[in-house]
Structure 1
């Protein structure tokens, strides 16, 4: 009963267990079996583990020193299914990304500087690199501050996240719009493989609450059809049943002064907010000409962020143009917060 070192952390609008790679089995099958038992899956309540009975609270980040000269640490994201014995590496997570940078400082992988510390993170799932600026007054991480993000109560210290342009093609098919499963869709990947669809094309307003979308059998069926049709076109490894990408994002005109309103399927439940990288892909779609977002988006002035509306508020982020190439985008930047909830040892189910 020695337990396994673990930090339970909130990152953005997600929550999960953060581990050093050295504290987990090197064998992937053994690692995944252990994580299922730690999180309490498969079980709808995850009553015997750390998981919170929702995909947003059944996440894991694995951290190690990076051998990449452009990064300080490597971050592997694992999505632990709630009701199935599945651990997926098919995507990364920009919310848990916000947690692994302060974790790395707390664990001594990155030395803290006075005031602020920049942590360069290589996201192992995608190969993309992000630079996170963490508040470290007195040479120690602080989680206290006045930054607010929608979907999280209270305030915390801001963590600025700067995402390098995605390593792969922004538009995997090369088209701004593809006709799939009977609807127009923009297949895009600015950090998160996503399929953008106009809500009105599915007979929806785009303002529906997540529970109503999840509870509508026809919506669920159509989303599954669109996802299955997009899967081979985006060159995603695996099968739709074993991977969590692509995400289907329903778009509609903004309702509260933002750029676009969204409802994001992740991939079966509907996000109560929107993932950081999913928002970055939506924002990139809004910036490009001729996508399904064209005509829906209310673009801000050049020096203002794009405000992506979601069920519990909004997410502001900047997406830079790519010099000399209007079919690409440059760096994406967003402010997140994170908090250490528990730091100790977890005892997995036997």
Structure 2
């Protein structure tokens, strides 16, 4: 295989997403070279990513890059990359909380952090947002385990729990919980709460689009008129939030809310943004939790008498995602915690063709 380059990686499921995990030392330092390599590895430019290891879906075309921490208060760095399926582009603006749930286990097995007896705390510096998230993973007798009794909707079976605490999550991209200073803004022809917690959201009433917020994801995706309108609202919201022209970015993420139809506290439909998520992004759930603490927001109006600490359940297309909101110790800012699971799926190497001059140059320069 002299015409192929081997790049070590591990395929992992994190929450309701999955993708390859790389050590930062095994990828180019230059972002342009790195992204070029990721597009080759994932097979972007084809709906099935047939010539790569991507899954042909935004939820399985994700990459995690993990390495030693560059932040004095963290244990490891985590850079998330959303690799587009059809377009040959990589977006490192957002964070992914689902993939984040596998960062701690990956870091332990990669030797970046030592496991403790019972439970190990990993302080993860998310390079995308500059925020630190605390991940607690189960390590009985100092050994990492993936099997356990925890179950999350959207993933079959059970696994060991991973607890994520998003402390000081406010303003991941804009520095403000409410980038416009308003709890509700008029965006084109609809009301919206523009909130920036773990990720920027455009929260919209499902009823303003003729929906309940409990529709199947596929039915929303197939409504081309709705999806076009939603994208127009999203782009204008991005401009109002100070994010500029977001036509080529996945941020901000639009999200429809409505009255619960089951056992949750609020029905939620989250968009990636080109399609409706079949579950709910962890960062979206966290930002929604922060929005719930603002009484006059579109979310807060559903919880007029809410006091902290509180546990809420967001009802998504395949079940529930629960969040706990409490005040941080010595601080009045809210901390939002979630429980996820992860699993190591495959380990080996991604094979990249040398015929690409940029790839060949990278490997020669890195020796």
- The TM-score, its normalising length taken from structure 2, stands at 0.90
> Aligned partners of 2:188, 2:80: CA distance in 1, in Å?
30
Whether contact under 8 Å (1:12, 1:152) holds in the other structure is yes
> Aligned partners of 2:163, 2:116: CA distance in 1, in Å?
16
Residue 98 of structure 1: how far off its partner (Å):
0.5
Structure-2 residue corresponding to 1:148? 151
Residue 234 of structure 1: how far off its partner (Å):
1.4
Structure-2 residue corresponding to 1:177? 184
Deviations 1:276-298 (A, max 9, x none): 11011112222211111244458
Structure-2 residue corresponding to 1:112? 115
Whether contact under 8 Å (2:308, 2:327) holds in the other structure is no
> Aligned partners of 1:300, 1:275: CA distance in 2, in Å?
23
Q: How does 1:1-350 map to 2 (within 5 A)?
A: 1-166=4-169, 167=171, 168-236=175-243, 239-297=245-303, 302-321=308-327, 329-349=333-353
> Aligned partners of 1:220, 1:297: CA distance in 2, in Å?
28
Whether contact under 8 Å (2:235, 2:247) holds in the other structure is no
- The list of structure 1 runs, each at least 4 consecutive aligned residues, that deviate by more than 6 angstroms after superposition, is 298-301, 322-325
Change (3 A) 1:66 1:294: closer
Change (3 A) 1:219 1:296: farther
Deviations 1:255-307 (A, max 9, x none): 11322110111111110011011011112222211111244458777554110
Secondary structure in structure 2 of the residue aligned to 1:3: strand
- The TM-score, its normalising length taken from structure 1, stands at 0.95
Structure-1 residue corresponding to 2:363? none
- Structure 2: runs of 5+ lacking an equivalent: 356-367
> Aligned partners of 2:10, 2:304: CA distance in 1, in Å?
40
Change (3 A) 1:322 1:177: farther
> Aligned partners of 1:317, 1:294: CA distance in 2, in Å?
15
Change (3 A) 1:329 1:218: farther
Q: Indicate the RMSD between aligned Cα atoms, in angstroms.
A: 1.8
Residue 2 of structure 1: how far off its partner (Å):
4.7
> Aligned partners of 1:98, 1:279: CA distance in 2, in Å?
14
> Aligned partners of 2:177, 2:189: CA distance in 1, in Å?
23
> Aligned partners of 2:107, 2:327: CA distance in 1, in Å?
31
Change (3 A) 1:323 1:203: farther
Deviations 1:17-51 (A, max 9, x none): 11011000111111111101111111100111111
Report how many aligned residue pairs link the two structures: 347
> Aligned partners of 1:38, 1:10: CA distance in 2, in Å?
17
Q: Which moved more, 1:141-150 or 1:283-292?
A: 283-292
> Aligned partners of 1:171, 1:321: CA distance in 2, in Å?
18
- Structure 1: runs of 5+ lacking an equivalent: none
Deviations 1:312-340 (A, max 9, x none): 00100112247999xx8411111110000
Residue 189 of structure 1: how far off its partner (Å):
1.2
Whether contact under 8 Å (1:258, 1:298) holds in the other structure is no
Residue 346 of structure 1: how far off its partner (Å):
1.2
Secondary structure in structure 1 of the residue aligned to 2:99: helix
